Chain A
Amino acid sequence: MKQKKQSGLFDISGEGPKKEIPAGASQPADEEKLFRVGEFLDFLNGLWKGKEYAVQGEISEFKMHPSGAYFALKDAEGEGVLYCYMNPYAYRTLGFALEDGFVVRAYGVPNIYKPKGRMSFVVRTMTLAGEGSLKKAYEALKKKLENEGLFARKRPIPEFITRIGIITSKTGAVIDDFRKNLKPLGLHLSLFDTRVEGPSAPANIIRGLRWFNEHHLECDVIVVIRGGGSLEDLQPFNNELVARAVFSSEIPVIAGIGHDRDVPIVSLVADAQTSTPSFAAAAINESWDRVVLGVPRLERELALAFEGALAKLRLRLSRYGERFLTRLARLTVRYRTLEVSLVRMFALRLSAINSQLMHAAQYLSAVDPERNLKLGYGIVFDAHGRVMKDARNAKEGEMIAARLYRGSLMARIEKKTE
Protein backbone atom coordinates (compact mmCIF):
# COMPACT_ATOMS: atom_id res chain seq x y z
CA MET A 1 0.00 0.00 0.00
CA LYS A 2 1.40 3.31 -0.95
CA GLN A 3 2.01 5.79 1.81
CA LYS A 4 -0.31 8.74 1.59
CA LYS A 5 1.52 11.66 0.12
CA GLN A 6 1.41 15.13 1.59
CA SER A 7 1.64 18.05 -0.72
CA GLY A 8 1.74 21.80 -0.67
CA LEU A 9 2.68 24.56 -3.14
CA PHE A 10 5.90 26.36 -2.41
CA ASP A 11 7.71 29.33 -3.80
CA ILE A 12 11.40 28.82 -4.07
CA SER A 13 12.32 32.17 -2.58
CA GLY A 14 15.01 30.61 -0.43
CA GLU A 15 12.98 30.87 2.71
CA GLY A 16 12.32 27.15 2.76
CA PRO A 17 9.05 25.29 3.17
CA LYS A 18 6.35 27.39 4.76
CA LYS A 19 4.14 24.55 5.90
CA GLU A 20 6.45 21.63 6.31
CA ILE A 21 8.72 21.48 9.30
CA PRO A 22 11.17 18.56 9.13
CA ALA A 23 9.96 16.02 11.61
CA GLY A 24 11.97 16.08 14.79
CA ALA A 25 14.06 19.12 13.79
CA SER A 26 13.14 20.95 16.96
CA GLN A 27 13.72 17.97 19.18
CA PRO A 28 16.58 18.59 21.61
CA ALA A 29 17.62 14.96 21.30
CA ASP A 30 18.32 15.45 17.57
CA GLU A 31 20.21 18.65 18.17
CA GLU A 32 22.49 16.84 20.54
CA LYS A 33 23.03 13.89 18.23
CA LEU A 34 26.26 13.93 16.35
CA PHE A 35 25.98 12.79 12.72
CA ARG A 36 28.57 11.77 10.31
CA VAL A 37 28.14 13.69 7.02
CA GLY A 38 26.73 10.80 4.99
CA GLU A 39 24.52 9.82 7.87
CA PHE A 40 23.23 13.36 8.19
CA LEU A 41 22.48 13.53 4.48
CA ASP A 42 20.58 10.23 4.76
CA PHE A 43 18.71 11.72 7.70
CA LEU A 44 17.80 14.80 5.70
CA ASN A 45 16.69 12.74 2.71
CA GLY A 46 14.66 10.60 5.07
CA LEU A 47 12.77 13.64 6.30
CA TRP A 48 11.18 14.07 2.88
CA LYS A 49 10.58 10.42 2.21
CA GLY A 50 6.95 9.67 1.31
CA LYS A 51 6.10 13.32 0.87
CA GLU A 52 5.56 15.33 -2.25
CA TYR A 53 5.84 19.04 -2.78
CA ALA A 54 4.55 21.27 -5.53
CA VAL A 55 6.81 24.07 -6.61
CA GLN A 56 5.99 26.67 -9.22
CA GLY A 57 8.67 28.53 -11.14
CA GLU A 58 10.12 29.35 -14.52
CA ILE A 59 12.36 26.87 -16.29
CA SER A 60 15.91 27.82 -17.18
CA GLU A 61 19.08 25.97 -18.13
CA PHE A 62 17.03 23.11 -19.54
CA LYS A 63 19.15 20.20 -20.77
CA MET A 64 18.10 16.84 -22.04
CA HIS A 65 20.53 14.02 -21.30
CA PRO A 66 20.15 10.22 -21.72
CA SER A 67 20.10 9.98 -17.94
CA GLY A 68 17.22 12.44 -17.67
CA ALA A 69 16.14 16.06 -17.90
CA TYR A 70 18.05 18.69 -15.95
CA PHE A 71 16.84 22.22 -15.41
CA ALA A 72 16.50 24.97 -12.87
CA LEU A 73 13.34 26.53 -11.55
CA LYS A 74 13.41 30.12 -10.57
CA ASP A 75 11.04 32.80 -9.50
CA ALA A 76 10.16 35.48 -11.97
CA GLU A 77 11.09 37.99 -9.29
CA GLY A 78 13.56 37.16 -6.56
CA GLU A 79 16.71 35.16 -6.35
CA GLY A 80 15.55 31.66 -5.59
CA VAL A 81 16.86 28.88 -7.82
CA LEU A 82 15.99 25.23 -7.49
CA TYR A 83 17.87 22.66 -9.50
CA CYS A 84 15.67 19.87 -10.72
CA TYR A 85 15.99 16.45 -12.23
CA MET A 86 13.48 14.24 -14.00
CA ASN A 87 14.18 10.65 -14.93
CA PRO A 88 13.72 9.82 -18.63
CA TYR A 89 10.50 7.86 -18.06
CA ALA A 90 8.92 10.65 -16.01
CA TYR A 91 9.90 13.16 -18.66
CA ARG A 92 8.59 11.03 -21.51
CA THR A 93 5.25 10.61 -19.78
CA LEU A 94 4.77 14.36 -19.34
CA GLY A 95 3.09 14.71 -22.70
CA PHE A 96 4.66 18.06 -23.52
CA ALA A 97 8.16 19.28 -24.26
CA LEU A 98 9.89 21.62 -21.83
CA GLU A 99 11.88 24.63 -22.80
CA ASP A 100 13.42 27.60 -21.08
CA GLY A 101 10.90 30.25 -20.12
CA PHE A 102 8.02 27.86 -19.45
CA VAL A 103 6.32 28.43 -16.14
CA VAL A 104 5.59 25.07 -14.60
CA ARG A 105 4.20 23.51 -11.49
CA ALA A 106 6.57 20.70 -10.55
CA TYR A 107 5.57 17.88 -8.22
CA GLY A 108 8.36 15.99 -6.51
CA VAL A 109 10.61 15.61 -3.55
CA PRO A 110 14.02 17.12 -2.65
CA ASN A 111 17.03 14.88 -2.60
CA ILE A 112 20.64 15.50 -1.63
CA TYR A 113 23.10 13.68 -3.83
CA LYS A 114 25.57 12.44 -1.25
CA PRO A 115 28.80 12.25 -3.37
CA LYS A 116 28.46 15.92 -4.33
CA GLY A 117 26.37 17.15 -1.43
CA ARG A 118 24.17 18.95 -3.87
CA MET A 119 20.44 19.13 -3.43
CA SER A 120 18.13 18.79 -6.37
CA PHE A 121 14.38 18.61 -6.67
CA VAL A 122 13.45 15.24 -8.15
CA VAL A 123 10.39 15.94 -10.25
CA ARG A 124 7.85 13.16 -10.59
CA THR A 125 5.52 15.10 -12.83
CA MET A 126 4.56 18.63 -13.66
CA THR A 127 1.94 20.76 -15.31
CA LEU A 128 2.29 23.95 -17.24
CA ALA A 129 1.27 27.16 -15.52
CA GLY A 130 0.79 30.57 -17.00
CA GLU A 131 -1.12 31.53 -20.11
CA GLY A 132 2.01 32.18 -22.18
CA SER A 133 3.57 28.76 -21.55
CA LEU A 134 0.30 26.96 -22.06
CA LYS A 135 -0.40 28.75 -25.30
CA LYS A 136 3.09 28.18 -26.61
CA ALA A 137 3.02 24.48 -25.74
CA TYR A 138 -0.46 24.18 -27.25
CA GLU A 139 0.56 25.78 -30.54
CA ALA A 140 3.74 23.71 -30.77
CA LEU A 141 1.89 20.44 -30.17
CA LYS A 142 -0.91 21.40 -32.53
CA LYS A 143 1.58 22.10 -35.30
CA LYS A 144 3.53 18.91 -34.63
CA LEU A 145 0.52 16.60 -34.65
CA GLU A 146 -1.06 18.34 -37.60
CA ASN A 147 2.13 17.81 -39.59
CA GLU A 148 2.05 14.14 -38.65
CA GLY A 149 -1.50 13.89 -39.99
CA LEU A 150 -3.16 13.05 -36.68
CA PHE A 151 -5.97 15.53 -37.30
CA ALA A 152 -6.72 14.28 -40.81
CA ARG A 153 -7.85 10.74 -40.05
CA LYS A 154 -11.53 10.66 -39.20
CA ARG A 155 -13.21 7.29 -38.93
CA PRO A 156 -16.94 7.22 -39.43
CA ILE A 157 -19.02 7.19 -36.27
CA PRO A 158 -20.98 3.95 -36.45
CA GLU A 159 -24.70 3.86 -36.98
CA PHE A 160 -27.03 2.74 -34.17
CA ILE A 161 -24.48 3.24 -31.38
CA THR A 162 -25.45 0.89 -28.57
CA ARG A 163 -22.42 0.41 -26.32
CA ILE A 164 -20.60 3.50 -25.18
CA GLY A 165 -17.42 3.74 -23.16
CA ILE A 166 -17.30 7.01 -21.24
CA ILE A 167 -14.15 8.55 -19.88
CA THR A 168 -14.78 11.36 -17.42
CA SER A 169 -15.16 12.05 -13.72
CA LYS A 170 -18.05 10.35 -11.99
CA THR A 171 -18.51 13.40 -9.79
CA GLY A 172 -19.78 16.69 -11.15
CA ALA A 173 -22.47 17.68 -13.55
CA VAL A 174 -20.79 16.49 -16.76
CA ILE A 175 -21.72 12.82 -16.58
CA ASP A 176 -25.27 13.71 -15.49
CA ASP A 177 -25.67 16.21 -18.35
CA PHE A 178 -24.39 13.64 -20.80
CA ARG A 179 -26.76 10.95 -19.56
CA LYS A 180 -29.75 13.30 -19.43
CA ASN A 181 -29.20 14.31 -23.03
CA LEU A 182 -29.14 10.75 -24.32
CA LYS A 183 -32.44 9.50 -25.67
CA PRO A 184 -33.79 6.26 -24.19
CA LEU A 185 -32.56 4.00 -26.96
CA GLY A 186 -31.56 0.99 -24.92
CA LEU A 187 -27.94 2.17 -24.77
CA HIS A 188 -25.37 0.51 -22.56
CA LEU A 189 -23.11 3.07 -20.88
CA SER A 190 -19.85 2.09 -19.16
CA LEU A 191 -18.10 4.81 -17.20
CA PHE A 192 -14.38 4.78 -16.59
CA ASP A 193 -14.05 7.23 -13.73
CA THR A 194 -11.01 9.44 -14.14
CA ARG A 195 -9.56 12.76 -13.11
CA VAL A 196 -10.02 15.31 -15.87
CA GLU A 197 -7.78 17.97 -14.38
CA GLY A 198 -4.43 18.05 -12.62
CA PRO A 199 -1.16 16.17 -13.02
CA SER A 200 -2.63 12.68 -12.74
CA ALA A 201 -5.37 13.28 -15.32
CA PRO A 202 -3.37 12.45 -18.49
CA ALA A 203 -2.29 9.03 -17.19
CA ASN A 204 -5.87 8.38 -15.99
CA ILE A 205 -7.37 9.21 -19.36
CA ILE A 206 -4.82 7.10 -21.21
CA ARG A 207 -5.59 4.19 -18.87
CA GLY A 208 -9.29 4.59 -19.63
CA LEU A 209 -8.68 4.51 -23.37
CA ARG A 210 -6.53 1.39 -23.03
CA TRP A 211 -9.06 -0.26 -20.74
CA PHE A 212 -11.89 0.08 -23.22
CA ASN A 213 -9.72 -1.10 -26.07
CA GLU A 214 -8.50 -4.12 -24.12
CA HIS A 215 -11.63 -5.05 -22.18
CA HIS A 216 -14.55 -3.56 -24.09
CA LEU A 217 -13.82 -4.07 -27.74
CA GLU A 218 -17.57 -4.38 -28.24
CA CYS A 219 -17.93 -0.65 -27.52
CA ASP A 220 -19.18 1.20 -30.57
CA VAL A 221 -17.54 4.42 -29.44
CA ILE A 222 -15.52 5.90 -26.62
CA VAL A 223 -16.67 9.30 -25.42
CA VAL A 224 -14.15 11.56 -23.71
CA ILE A 225 -15.98 14.40 -21.98
CA ARG A 226 -15.43 17.24 -19.57
CA GLY A 227 -16.96 20.65 -18.98
CA GLY A 228 -15.37 23.89 -20.06
CA GLY A 229 -12.31 25.38 -18.48
CA SER A 230 -9.28 27.55 -18.99
CA LEU A 231 -6.30 26.45 -21.05
CA GLU A 232 -4.64 25.49 -17.77
CA ASP A 233 -7.62 23.39 -16.67
CA LEU A 234 -7.71 21.64 -20.03
CA GLN A 235 -4.02 20.66 -20.02
CA PRO A 236 -4.76 16.92 -19.92
CA PHE A 237 -6.59 17.34 -23.22
CA ASN A 238 -3.69 19.23 -24.76
CA ASN A 239 -1.28 16.52 -23.79
CA GLU A 240 0.65 14.72 -26.51
CA LEU A 241 0.44 11.30 -24.90
CA VAL A 242 -3.32 11.59 -24.42
CA ALA A 243 -3.70 12.80 -28.01
CA ARG A 244 -1.67 9.83 -29.31
CA ALA A 245 -3.67 7.41 -27.17
CA VAL A 246 -6.86 8.78 -28.72
CA PHE A 247 -5.36 8.33 -32.17
CA SER A 248 -4.26 4.78 -31.33
CA SER A 249 -7.67 3.72 -30.07
CA GLU A 250 -9.17 0.98 -32.22
CA ILE A 251 -12.59 2.16 -31.12
CA PRO A 252 -13.71 5.46 -32.65
CA VAL A 253 -13.51 8.35 -30.21
CA ILE A 254 -15.97 11.22 -29.78
CA ALA A 255 -14.62 14.18 -27.83
CA GLY A 256 -17.02 16.43 -25.95
CA ILE A 257 -14.73 18.88 -24.22
CA GLY A 258 -15.96 22.37 -23.41
CA HIS A 259 -13.59 25.10 -24.48
CA ASP A 260 -13.38 28.76 -25.38
CA ARG A 261 -11.04 29.73 -28.17
CA ASP A 262 -8.55 26.93 -28.58
CA VAL A 263 -10.03 23.59 -29.55
CA PRO A 264 -8.35 20.97 -27.34
CA ILE A 265 -5.78 18.84 -29.16
CA VAL A 266 -7.66 15.69 -28.12
CA SER A 267 -10.77 17.04 -29.85
CA LEU A 268 -8.77 17.69 -33.00
CA VAL A 269 -7.42 14.14 -33.01
CA ALA A 270 -10.75 12.48 -32.12
CA ASP A 271 -12.87 10.97 -34.88
CA ALA A 272 -15.67 13.38 -34.00
CA GLN A 273 -15.51 16.46 -31.85
CA THR A 274 -18.28 18.34 -30.15
CA SER A 275 -17.96 21.48 -28.08
CA THR A 276 -19.80 20.18 -24.99
CA PRO A 277 -20.71 16.86 -23.36
CA SER A 278 -24.37 17.55 -24.24
CA PHE A 279 -23.46 17.80 -27.91
CA ALA A 280 -21.55 14.54 -27.62
CA ALA A 281 -24.79 12.95 -26.38
CA ALA A 282 -26.59 14.56 -29.33
CA ALA A 283 -24.04 13.00 -31.71
CA ILE A 284 -24.86 9.58 -30.28
CA ASN A 285 -28.57 10.26 -30.60
CA GLU A 286 -27.97 11.26 -34.20
CA SER A 287 -26.51 7.85 -34.94
CA TRP A 288 -30.10 6.62 -34.53
CA ASP A 289 -31.64 9.34 -36.73
CA ARG A 290 -32.06 6.95 -39.64
CA VAL A 291 -34.50 5.02 -37.48
CA VAL A 292 -35.89 7.66 -35.10
CA LEU A 293 -36.56 10.23 -37.83
CA GLY A 294 -36.30 7.99 -40.86
CA VAL A 295 -39.01 5.47 -40.02
CA PRO A 296 -41.84 8.03 -39.58
CA ARG A 297 -40.63 9.78 -42.76
CA LEU A 298 -40.50 6.51 -44.70
CA GLU A 299 -43.92 5.60 -43.34
CA ARG A 300 -45.33 8.90 -44.67
CA GLU A 301 -43.53 8.48 -47.98
CA LEU A 302 -44.80 4.93 -48.35
CA ALA A 303 -48.39 5.99 -47.67
CA LEU A 304 -48.05 8.93 -50.07
CA ALA A 305 -46.42 6.77 -52.75
CA PHE A 306 -49.21 4.21 -52.59
CA GLU A 307 -51.91 6.87 -52.53
CA GLY A 308 -50.17 8.49 -55.48
CA ALA A 309 -50.15 5.18 -57.33
CA LEU A 310 -53.85 4.70 -56.64
CA ALA A 311 -54.60 8.26 -57.72
CA LYS A 312 -52.67 7.64 -60.94
CA LEU A 313 -54.66 4.47 -61.47
CA ARG A 314 -57.96 6.27 -60.87
CA LEU A 315 -56.92 8.97 -63.31
CA ARG A 316 -55.94 6.36 -65.84
CA LEU A 317 -59.25 4.55 -65.48
CA SER A 318 -61.07 7.83 -65.75
CA ARG A 319 -59.15 8.64 -68.94
CA TYR A 320 -59.91 5.20 -70.35
CA GLY A 321 -63.59 5.77 -69.56
CA GLU A 322 -63.55 9.13 -71.26
CA ARG A 323 -61.80 7.68 -74.28
CA PHE A 324 -64.30 4.84 -74.41
CA LEU A 325 -67.24 7.22 -74.27
CA THR A 326 -65.69 9.44 -76.91
CA ARG A 327 -65.14 6.45 -79.16
CA LEU A 328 -68.63 5.20 -78.49
CA ALA A 329 -70.03 8.60 -79.39
CA ARG A 330 -68.00 8.58 -82.59
CA LEU A 331 -69.21 5.06 -83.41
CA THR A 332 -72.80 6.11 -82.75
CA VAL A 333 -72.45 9.06 -85.10
CA ARG A 334 -70.86 6.82 -87.67
CA TYR A 335 -73.62 4.26 -87.22
CA ARG A 336 -76.29 6.92 -87.64
CA THR A 337 -74.57 8.15 -90.76
CA LEU A 338 -74.31 4.65 -92.11
CA GLU A 339 -77.94 4.00 -91.23
CA VAL A 340 -79.08 7.08 -93.07
CA SER A 341 -76.94 6.13 -96.05
CA LEU A 342 -78.25 2.59 -96.03
CA VAL A 343 -81.83 3.72 -95.77
CA ARG A 344 -81.27 6.13 -98.60
CA MET A 345 -79.55 3.48 -100.62
CA PHE A 346 -82.30 0.96 -99.97
CA ALA A 347 -84.91 3.53 -100.85
CA LEU A 348 -83.15 4.27 -104.09
CA ARG A 349 -82.76 0.61 -104.80
CA LEU A 350 -86.38 -0.06 -104.02
CA SER A 351 -87.39 2.74 -106.26
CA ALA A 352 -85.26 1.30 -109.04
CA ILE A 353 -86.77 -2.15 -108.51
CA ASN A 354 -90.22 -0.66 -108.51
CA SER A 355 -89.49 1.04 -111.75
CA GLN A 356 -88.11 -2.17 -113.26
CA LEU A 357 -91.17 -4.05 -112.05
CA MET A 358 -93.42 -1.51 -113.63
CA HIS A 359 -91.58 -1.83 -116.93
CA ALA A 360 -91.76 -5.60 -116.66
CA ALA A 361 -95.46 -5.42 -115.86
CA GLN A 362 -96.02 -3.21 -118.85
CA TYR A 363 -94.02 -5.57 -121.01
CA LEU A 364 -95.74 -8.61 -119.65
CA SER A 365 -99.02 -6.94 -120.13
CA ALA A 366 -98.08 -6.28 -123.69
CA VAL A 367 -97.04 -9.87 -124.37
CA ASP A 368 -99.82 -11.53 -122.37
CA PRO A 369 -101.38 -14.46 -124.56
CA GLU A 370 -104.70 -13.77 -122.93
CA ARG A 371 -104.63 -10.33 -124.47
CA ASN A 372 -104.03 -11.86 -127.98
CA LEU A 373 -106.68 -14.48 -127.42
CA LYS A 374 -109.01 -11.68 -126.48
CA LEU A 375 -108.08 -9.95 -129.74
CA GLY A 376 -109.17 -13.12 -131.64
CA TYR A 377 -105.98 -15.03 -131.89
CA GLY A 378 -105.97 -18.74 -131.00
CA ILE A 379 -103.38 -21.31 -129.91
CA VAL A 380 -103.27 -24.68 -131.63
CA PHE A 381 -102.07 -27.74 -129.77
CA ASP A 382 -101.27 -31.16 -131.31
CA ALA A 383 -102.56 -34.41 -129.97
CA HIS A 384 -99.75 -34.39 -127.45
CA GLY A 385 -100.64 -30.97 -126.10
CA ARG A 386 -97.67 -29.24 -127.75
CA VAL A 387 -98.18 -25.83 -129.30
CA MET A 388 -98.16 -26.13 -133.04
CA LYS A 389 -96.15 -23.50 -134.77
CA ASP A 390 -95.25 -25.15 -138.12
CA ALA A 391 -97.77 -26.80 -140.51
CA ARG A 392 -95.06 -29.07 -141.79
CA ASN A 393 -95.08 -30.87 -138.44
CA ALA A 394 -98.82 -31.57 -138.80
CA LYS A 395 -100.24 -34.68 -140.29
CA GLU A 396 -103.47 -34.80 -142.17
CA GLY A 397 -106.23 -36.61 -140.20
CA GLU A 398 -104.50 -35.77 -136.87
CA MET A 399 -106.67 -34.45 -134.09
CA ILE A 400 -105.76 -31.00 -132.90
CA ALA A 401 -107.12 -28.60 -130.28
CA ALA A 402 -107.50 -24.82 -130.72
CA ARG A 403 -107.70 -22.64 -127.63
CA LEU A 404 -109.72 -19.45 -127.99
CA TYR A 405 -110.28 -16.48 -125.64
CA ARG A 406 -113.15 -18.34 -124.24
CA GLY A 407 -113.15 -22.17 -124.59
CA SER A 408 -111.40 -24.60 -126.96
CA LEU A 409 -112.20 -26.41 -130.16
CA MET A 410 -111.33 -29.97 -131.16
CA ALA A 411 -110.72 -30.46 -134.89
CA ARG A 412 -109.23 -32.85 -137.42
CA ILE A 413 -106.77 -31.82 -140.03
CA GLU A 414 -108.30 -32.21 -143.40
CA LYS A 415 -105.60 -30.75 -145.46
CA LYS A 416 -102.46 -28.91 -144.92
CA THR A 417 -100.63 -26.31 -146.94
CA GLU A 418 -96.98 -25.34 -146.42
Chain B
Amino acid sequence: MEKQKKDKKEIGTKLGKLEAIVAWFEAQEEVDVEEGLKRVREGAALVKDLKERMKGIENEFEEIKKDLSDNAA
Protein backbone atom coordinates (compact mmCIF):
# COMPACT_ATOMS: atom_id res chain seq x y z
CA MET B 1 0.00 0.00 0.00
CA GLU B 2 2.73 2.40 1.05
CA LYS B 3 4.60 1.57 -2.14
CA GLN B 4 1.53 2.37 -4.24
CA LYS B 5 0.98 5.65 -2.42
CA LYS B 6 4.62 6.54 -2.94
CA ASP B 7 4.40 5.51 -6.58
CA LYS B 8 1.37 7.75 -7.13
CA LYS B 9 3.03 10.64 -5.34
CA GLU B 10 6.12 10.22 -7.48
CA ILE B 11 4.07 10.20 -10.67
CA GLY B 12 2.36 13.41 -9.60
CA THR B 13 5.65 15.06 -8.66
CA LYS B 14 7.38 14.09 -11.90
CA LEU B 15 4.42 15.17 -13.96
CA GLY B 16 4.34 18.48 -12.11
CA LYS B 17 8.03 19.04 -12.82
CA LEU B 18 7.57 18.23 -16.50
CA GLU B 19 4.63 20.63 -16.76
CA ALA B 20 6.69 23.31 -15.00
CA ILE B 21 9.54 22.87 -17.48
CA VAL B 22 7.19 23.27 -20.46
CA ALA B 23 5.58 26.28 -18.78
CA TRP B 24 9.04 27.80 -18.21
CA PHE B 25 9.77 27.62 -21.93
CA GLU B 26 6.41 29.19 -22.74
CA ALA B 27 7.07 32.03 -20.32
CA GLN B 28 10.49 32.95 -21.72
CA GLU B 29 10.78 35.82 -24.17
CA GLU B 30 14.40 34.97 -24.86
CA VAL B 31 15.56 31.51 -23.83
CA ASP B 32 18.98 31.19 -22.32
CA VAL B 33 20.25 28.34 -24.47
CA GLU B 34 22.38 26.75 -21.78
CA GLU B 35 19.57 26.90 -19.22
CA GLY B 36 17.12 25.68 -21.87
CA LEU B 37 19.31 22.73 -22.75
CA LYS B 38 19.65 21.83 -19.07
CA ARG B 39 15.87 21.87 -18.68
CA VAL B 40 15.31 19.88 -21.86
CA ARG B 41 17.64 17.18 -20.56
CA GLU B 42 15.80 17.15 -17.24
CA GLY B 43 12.45 16.99 -19.06
CA ALA B 44 13.59 14.13 -21.29
CA ALA B 45 14.61 12.12 -18.22
CA LEU B 46 11.19 12.74 -16.65
CA VAL B 47 9.41 11.69 -19.86
CA LYS B 48 11.46 8.51 -19.94
CA ASP B 49 10.63 7.67 -16.30
CA LEU B 50 6.92 8.35 -16.72
CA LYS B 51 6.70 6.35 -19.95
CA GLU B 52 8.48 3.49 -18.23
CA ARG B 53 5.85 3.58 -15.44
CA MET B 54 3.01 3.48 -17.96
CA LYS B 55 4.37 0.54 -19.92
CA GLY B 56 1.41 -1.92 -19.84
CA ILE B 57 1.50 -3.17 -16.28
CA GLU B 58 -1.22 -5.83 -15.95
CA ASN B 59 -4.06 -5.15 -13.54
CA GLU B 60 -4.45 -7.40 -10.53
CA PHE B 61 -7.83 -8.85 -9.65
CA GLU B 62 -9.02 -10.49 -6.46
CA GLU B 63 -12.36 -11.50 -5.10
CA ILE B 64 -12.86 -10.60 -1.49
CA LYS B 65 -13.19 -13.60 0.74
CA LYS B 66 -15.86 -12.65 3.18
CA ASP B 67 -15.73 -14.21 6.61
CA LEU B 68 -18.80 -15.65 8.33
CA SER B 69 -19.65 -12.43 10.11
CA ASP B 70 -19.61 -10.63 6.79
CA ASN B 71 -21.94 -13.19 5.26
CA ALA B 72 -24.42 -13.01 8.04
CA ALA B 73 -27.36 -10.62 7.97
Contacts and interface: CB of A to CB of B under 8 A. Distances in A.
Contact of A207 (B36, B62, B70): B70
Given A295-B15, A306-B36, A306-B40, A189 B54 contact: no
B41 to A, nearest CB: 10
B30 A312 contact: yes
A313 B33 CA distance: 8
B54 A292 contact: yes
| Best-surrounded residue of B33, B61, B62, B73 (most CB of chain A within 10 A) | B61
Given A207-B73, A299-B47, A159 B12 contact: yes
A109 B48 CA distance: 67
Given A162-B4, A306-B40, A189 B60 contact: yes
B57 A160 contact: no
B18 A184 contact: no
Interface in A170-225: 170, 179, 182, 184-193, 203, 207, 211, 218
A309 interface: yes
A368 interface: no
Contacts of A190: 62-64
B54 A302 contact: no
A99 B10 CA distance: 56
B31 A313 contact: yes
Given A188-B59, A301-B22, A162 B8 contact: yes
Given A193-B64, A299-B47, A312-B31, A186 B25 contact: no
B56 A306 contact: no
A295 B54 contact: yes
Contacts of A185: 54, 57, 59
A348 interface: no
A412 interface: no
Nearest to B50: A295
Contacts of B15: 290-291, 294-295
Contacts, number: 107
B73 A295 contact: no
Interface string B21-42: 1100110101101001100100
Interface string A276-306: 0000000000001011101100110110011
B25 A309 contact: yes
A188 B4 contact: yes
Nearest to A93: B73
A298 B36 contact: no
Nearest to A203: B73
A188 B73 contact: no
A9 B49 CA distance: 62
A51 interface: no
A289 to B, nearest CB: 11
A163 interface: yes
Q: Which 9 residue pairs of A and B lie closest in terms of their CB atoms, listed nearest first?
A: A305-B25, A186-B57, A309-B31, A187-B59, A184-B56, A189-B61, A302-B43, A191-B63, A299-B47
14 contacts: A162-B7, A184-B57, A188-B62, A218-B1, A218-B5, A291-B15, A291-B53, A299-B43, A302-B21, A306-B31, A306-B37, A309-B36, A312-B31, A316-B30
Interface of A: 159-160, 162-163, 170, 179, 182, 184-193, 203, 207, 211, 218, 288, 290-292, 294-295, 298-299, 301-302, 305-306, 308-310, 312-313, 316
Interface of B: 1, 4-5, 7-8, 11-12, 15, 18-19, 21-22, 25-26, 28, 30-31, 33, 36-37, 40, 43-44, 47, 50-51, 53-54, 56-64, 66, 70, 73
